[in-house]
């Protein structure tokens, strides 16, 4: 644990010692109406210019200007710098889609979204399950692959649910027959992006569902577009984190037991045996070049790490749920990463919008009752808009 502490302390010291304005005169919004708020065009860090960074890179230091980030508006552009490196070195490009290339409709309670790119069509469908309580427009929780959180914490609160069926975009699965890289539906539309990892392709498809909801509007969908959440567990916990981090129309991200490649920092996991680290993950999910370029001590060449992936959710809300009984999940690394990411929310005076609960004593992807309160708090505050709810959770059963 000594090295973990050193990395966290180094990063926090860097953040606090930088010449930053500490007073925030404007409270950042909880959510945005656009997939991306920044219009900055940022190129990734050239590979030849990368130098080893032993500590977690400072997410609040602009790569382009070399200056610290002092406002939420500067953070919008800094996010683009992080995203450009994340896409270049880890997952591949998540392309934007023009509104005229989206055609949405409701068939009963099923949302249908047809995307047309390069003369190719892709149909996404998902049934919206409306609650028996509350009233329209309803907040919405989207499950990546499925929702493994107890439904009593969601539907009984008057929240609608739907599933993002990721196989409609990229049908890779660890457990069933699937297409190979370059053969997925996404690749028909973007053949030049066949080297993408699944997480960029899945994040792209997830955003197209939200495009459809936006296009149809609240009257047709009965969904409150300002209160959309995303959640998933294990590999889908990673998916939920990438989907929410890369789409600013998501108000709440709950990433459940995401493991390495999710909230855990590659640099920290590199120092621990028998955990999911950069060399030991599923490379259908990521660009194969990441392993070739950043294995072993080359991990320190990454210009970012997954504390920055988590921080991309800021100023929106993020809750990370862990389970230290499963060493593979690298939860000590995730705790270091989350503590570092929290500094970004703290910079803007909104540290109540981010938290974690790393509690053992339960099966994988089975939320125990002692984690119900933190999940309820985040749902109440960020999907239902309840005031006076305590969401500053930093709880762990880790030694």
Q: Are 316 and 252 in contact (CB under 8 A)?
A: yes
Cα–Cα dist 380/375, whole Å? 9
Q: The whole model's pTM is what?
A: 0.94
What pLDDT is recorded for position 399?
A: 84
**Residue in 347, 326, 282, 276 with CA at minimum distance from that of residue 306:** 276
Asked if residue 262 lies in contact with residue 238, where contact means CB atoms within 8 angstroms, the answer is yes
- Give mean pLDDT, residues 70-88: 96
Query: Residue 40 burial (CB < 10 Å; 0-12/13-18/19+)?
Result: middle
Phi-psi region of 131 (alpha: psi -120 to 50; beta: other; left: phi over 0): beta
CA-to-CA dists, residue 91 to 1, 15, 109, 239, 244, angstroms: 29, 27, 33, 12, 15
Q: In this model, does residue 14 exceed pLDDT 90?
A: no
Instruction: Name which residue leads in pLDDT, 125 or 10.
Output: 125
What sign has the CA pseudo-torsion 331, 333, 335, 338?
A: negative
Q: Which residues are catalytic?
A: 234, 364
Tell me the pLDDT tens digit for each residue of 361-380.
999 999 999 999 999 999 99
In whole angstroms, give the CA distance from residue 62 to residue 44: 13
Sign of the CA dihedral 15, 20, 26, 28? negative
The string of pLDDT tens digits covering residues 342-354 is 999 999 999 999 9
Domain boundaries, the chain: 2-14+27-43+73-396
Q: Stretch 74-98: mean pLDDT, rounded? A: 97
Q: How far is CA 331 from the centre of its chain?
A: 17
331-347 vs 2-17: helix crossing angle, rounded to 10: 10
Is 210 in contact with 228 (CB distance < 8 Å)? yes
Instruction: Label residues 87-103 b or e (16+ Cβ within 10 Å = b).
Output: bbbbbbbbbebeeebbe
The half-sphere exposure of 320 on its side-chain side, counting CA atoms within 13 A, is: 39
Beta bridge partners of 103: 114
Q: Which residues contact 296 (CB under 8 A, 6 or more apart)?
A: 270, 279
Q: Please tell me the number of Cα atoms within 13 Å of 357 on its side-chain side.
A: 22
List pLDDT tens digits, range 228-270: 999 999 999 999 999 999 999 999 999 999 999 999 999 999 9
Question: How confident is the model over 192-203, as pLDDT tens digits?
Answer: 999 999 999 999
Angle at 338 between CA 211 and CA 256, to 5 degrees: 55
- In the CATH scheme, what is the code of domain 2-14+27-43+73-396? 3.40.50.1820
Q: How far is Cα 320 from Cα 100, in angstroms, rounded to an integer?
A: 36
pLDDT value for 278: 97
């Amino acid at each position: 644990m000594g090295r973990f502490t050193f990395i966290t302390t180094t990063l926090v010291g860097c953040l606090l010692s930088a010449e930053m304005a500490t007073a925030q005169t404007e409270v950042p919004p909880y959510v945005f109406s656009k997939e991306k708020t920044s219009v900055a065009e940022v190129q990734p860090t050239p590979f030849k210019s990368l130098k080893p960074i032993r500590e977690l890179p400072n997410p609040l230091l602009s790569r382009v200007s070399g200056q610290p980030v002092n406002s939420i508006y500067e953070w919008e552009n800094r996010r683009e710098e992080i995203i450009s490196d994340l896409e270049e070195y880890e997952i591949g490009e998540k392309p934007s889609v023009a509104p005229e290339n989206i055609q949405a409709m409701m068939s009963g309670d099923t949302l249908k979204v047809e995307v047309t790119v390069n003369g190719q069509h892709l149909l996404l469908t998902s049934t919206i399950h409306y609650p028996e309580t509350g009233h329209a427009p309803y907040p919405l929780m989207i499950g990546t692959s499925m929702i493994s959180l107890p439904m009593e914490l969601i539907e009984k609160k008057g929240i609608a649910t739907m599933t993002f069926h990721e196989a409609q975009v990229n049908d890779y699965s660890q457990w069933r027959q699937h297409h190979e890289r370059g053969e997925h539906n996404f690749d028909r539309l973007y053949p030049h992006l066949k080297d993408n990892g699944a997480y960029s392709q899945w994040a792209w498809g997830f955003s197209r569902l939200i495009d459809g909801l936006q296009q149809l509007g609240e009257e047709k969908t009965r969904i409150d577009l300002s209160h959309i959440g995303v959640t998933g567990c294990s590999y889908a916990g990673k998916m939920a984190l990438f989907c929410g981090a890369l789409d600013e129309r998501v108000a709440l991200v709950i990433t459940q037991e995401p493991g390495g490649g999710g909230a855990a920092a590659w640099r920290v996991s590199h120092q621990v045996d028998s955990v999911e680290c950069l060399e030991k993950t599923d490379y259908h999910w990521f660009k194969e070049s990441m392993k070739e370029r950043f294995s072993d001590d080359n991990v320190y060449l990454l210009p970012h790490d997954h504390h920055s992936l988590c921080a991309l959710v800021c100023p929106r809300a993020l809750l990370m749920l862990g389970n230290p009984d499963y060493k593979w999940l690298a939860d000590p690394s995730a705790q270091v990463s989350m503590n570092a990411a929290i500094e970004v929310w703290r910079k803007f005076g909104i540290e109540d919008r981010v938290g974690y609960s790393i509690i053992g004593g339960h099966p994988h992807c089975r939320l125990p009752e002692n984690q119900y309160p933190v999940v309820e708090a985040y749902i109440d505050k960020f999907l239902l808009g309840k005031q006076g709810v305590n969401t500053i959770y930093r709880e762990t059963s880790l030694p």
